[in-house]
Amino acid sequence: MFCEQCEQTASGQGCHQWGACGKGPDVNAVQDLLIYCLRGIAPVALKAKELGIDTRDVDVFTCESMFATMTNVNFNRKRFYTYIREAIALRENLKARVEEARDTAIAWSPAVQYQPDWTESLVAQGEEISRDFIAESSDNIDIFSLKLTTLYGIKGLASYAFHAQELGQEDDRVYTFCHEALAALENPDLGLEDWVNLALKVGEMNLRAMELLDAGHTNHYGHPTPTVVPLNAKAGKAILVSGHDIKQLEALLKQTANTGINVYTHGELLPAHGYPILKQTYPHLYGHYGTAWQNQTKDFAKFPGPIVVTTNCLMPPHENYEDKLFSIGPVGYPEIAYLEDVADDIPDFTPVIQKALAMPGFAEDGEPRQVKTGFARNAVLNVADRIIEAVQQGKIRHFFLVGGCDGAKPDRNYYTNFVDQVPEDCVVLTLACGKFRFFDKEMGEIGSIPRLMDVGQCNDAYSAIQIALGLAQAFEMDVNELPLSMILSWYEQKAVAVLLTLLYLGIKDIRLGPTLPAFISPNVFALLSEKYHLQPITTPEEDLAACLG
Ligand code: SF4
Ligand code: SF3
C-alpha cells in the first residue's frame, strides 16, 4: 500500500505496510480504486454540465465518497464496494445521457471506460491502479507532489461541500472544480506551473465551500454568540455526538426531545453550543465531553451512554466500547453499527435512544467546570471598535491564530507551550480540534476582550479569515501588515484545503507543524516558502520572538 495523506504517516514517509491510523492495505486499495472511478466520472460530469444535463446526484456522490476516503473516516472495505458499484452505475447512466444529447461518439479516456472485474479481488485491482498512478508520475517528483496536494486538498474541500449541501447550500462552481481537478489527474500534459495553479485553485474553491457551510450554519442556527459550555457531567441518561456535522446533531436533538436524555458534544462539535437557535430550541443540548479525537479511546470508553460519530476522526474502537458506537453518513467501521439515512439524509436514531435508556448514564452531577465558545466573525467584528481602540492604546500588542488539527505525537506540545508563553498583552484566537490542548486555560481579558477566543470548527477558518479581513479593513492596512501571526497545526486533508485557501488569499508567514506534509517535495516547499514565507514551526520561544519582532 502507499498512503501519505496525513501528518501521522509512517516515519514521515508514507504508510506502506499498514496505516498508522489503523487503515489496512485492503481498505487503502479499494479507496484508491474508488478515487480512480471518480476520475472516470469527472470527464463525463463535465461534458454533461456543458450540455446542460443535471448532474447533482453525481456531484453530491463525488463529494460524499471522496469524504469517505479521508483519514479516520471509513475503515469498512465493503462500504467501498458499494461506493464503487454506485460510481460505475452513475457514470454509465450519465454517459448514456451525454451520448444521447451529443448524438456522436465520444472518445472517452481509459478511466471513463473502466469496469472492475467483480469476479476477481477488488483489492488487487485497487493495488494495480495505485501502482500505475505512482508510475505515471515517477519521473517528476515535484509534479507528483502537487498532484497529491491537489487530490488531498479536494478531499477536504469535498467534505465541506458535502456538509454545506446537507444544509441547502450549493454552488455548481465548487462541484465543477472537483470534477476538473479529478480529471486533471488523467492529464499527462500539465506542467509544474499548471499544477501550482490548480493547487491554489483548490484553495479558492475551498474558500467558497467554507463560505457555503458558514451560510448553511448561520442561516439555520443564527450567528454564534459567546456561550458558556459546561464540561462537567449532569446526572441522567446521556448521548455523545462526535464529528463536525451540526445538521445531524440537530436531527438527534429533535428525535431526543422530551426523552429526558442529555446530549453532549465531543471534539469538533463543541462550537455547536455557540449557535443561539440550536441552544434555545433544544435545552437538552447540555455540555461538552472529552477533548480531541486522539483521546477518544479513553473518553469513549468512560462515557456512560451511546456515542454517534458523524464525521472524522474515528479511531479503530476498542472492544470495550464498540457496542455503544454508532456511525452515520460517510463514516464507518466494520464492527460498529451503521445507521442508514431514512428521510432527508437523516437516520432514525431510535437504536441510539434505546441504547441510552438501557445504559446507566451519569449517576450524579460532576464538579462544575466550563469553557467558552462562539467567538465567530460576527461576535468578534461587532466589537472591532473596542479591539482597534485597545490596539491603538497599546493594550493589545499582537494577535495569534493558533489553530488546526490535534494529534497524538508528543511534539504537538509545541502548541500548548506556545499558548502558555503568549505575553499578557496578546490575544489568542483558536479554531478546530488543536484547541483542546489549551481550550480551558484561564487567560483573562484585556479590557473586556477575552485573551482566548474560540472561533469554531476547522471550517470556521472562513470566519477567522473574515475577522482578519475585517480588522485589516478597519485598520486600513493589508492583512499581512496586521499584528497577527498564524501558527497552524495540521493532521488530515481538511487542513490541507484550509492551508491552500490561506495561500490562495496571499497570507504570508504562516508557521506550520508539527511536521511538514510528507507529500510536499523539497522543491515545492522551497517555492511556497519563497512566495508565501511558509515556514515550519521551530520552538515556541524562537517563533514567539520572531512574530513579536
Ligand atoms: Fe497512513 Fe495517514 Fe494514510 Fe492512515 S491516512 S494510511 S496514517 S498516511
Ligand atoms: Fe480535527 Fe480531525 Fe483536523 Fe476539524 S477532527 S480539525 S483532525
Mean per-residue pLDDT for 238-250? 97
SS (H, E, C) 59-87: HHHHHHHHHHCCCCCECCHHHHHHHHHHH
Which ligand 2 atom sits closest to the C-alpha of 267? 5
Mutate to test the pocket of ligand 1, among 2, 7, 9 (most ligand atoms within 8 A of CB): 9
Of 334, 283, 251, nearest in space to 80 by CA: 334
Q: Tens of pLDDT along 403-457?
A: 999 999 889 999 999 999 999 999 999 999 999 999 999 999 999 999 999 999 9
Higher pLDDT, 312 or 351: 351
Of 211, 202, 294, nearest in space to 496 by CA: 202
Query: At 104, is the pLDDT very low, low, confident or very high (cuts 50, 70, 90)?
Result: confident
Which ligand 2 atom sits closest to the C-alpha of 495? 3
293 Cβ closer than 6 Å to some ligand 2 atom: yes
Of 58, 55, 52, nearest in space to 101 by CA: 52
Q: Tens of pLDDT along 158-202?
A: 999 999 999 999 999 999 999 999 999 989 999 999 999 999 999
61 Cβ closer than 6 Å to some ligand 2 atom: no
Which residue owns the Cα nearest ligand 1 atom 5?
71
Q: Are 162 and 213 in contact (CB under 8 A)?
A: no
433 Cβ closer than 6 Å to some ligand 2 atom: yes
Mutate to test the pocket of ligand 2, among 494, 498, 499, 512 (most ligand atoms within 8 A of CB): 494
Residues making up the chain, counted from first to last: 549
Q: Which ligand is nearest to the CA of 266?
A: 2
Instruction: State the distance from the centre of ligand 1 to the C-alpha of 319, rounded, in angstroms.
Output: 22
pLDDT of 137 > 90? The answer is no
Instruction: Output the pLDDT for position 312.
Output: 75
Q: What is the DSSP letter of 341?
A: E
Query: At 329, is the pLDDT very low, low, confident or very high (cuts 50, 70, 90)?
Result: very high
Higher pLDDT, 410 or 98: 98
Mean per-residue pLDDT for 95-119? 92
The residues facing 308 across adjacent strands are 241, 326
Indicate whether this model's pTM tops 0.75.
yes
267 Cβ closer than 6 Å to some ligand 2 atom: yes
Mutate to test the pocket of ligand 1, among 4, 5, 496 (most ligand atoms within 8 A of CB): 5
Which residue owns the Cα nearest ligand 2 atom 2?
313
Q: How many CB atoms lie within 10 A of CB 460?
A: 28
What mean pLDDT, rounded, does the chain reach? 96
The residues facing 362 across adjacent strands are 236
Which residue owns the Cα nearest ligand 2 atom 3?
405
- Cell 504517516 sits on residue: 9
- Cell 457531567 sits on residue: 233
Residues 290, 283: Cα–Cα separation, whole Å:
20
The residues facing 422 across adjacent strands are none
Query: At 310, is the pLDDT very low, low, confident or very high (cuts 50, 70, 90)?
Result: very high
436 Cβ closer than 6 Å to some ligand 2 atom: no
Q: How many CB atoms lie within 10 A of CB 449?
A: 16
Instruction: Return the biggest CA–CA distance within the chain.
Output: 73
Q: What is the DSSP letter of 196?
A: H
Instruction: Output the pLDDT for position 303.
Output: 98
If residue 141 lies in a helix (H) or strand (E), which one and from where to where? Answer: helix 141-166
Q: Which ligand is nearest to the CA of 1?
A: 1
Q: Which ligand is nearest to the CA of 493?
A: 2
Mean per-residue pLDDT for 499-525? 97
Of 297, 298, 299, nearest in space to 270 by CA: 299
- Cell 467501498 sits on residue: 80
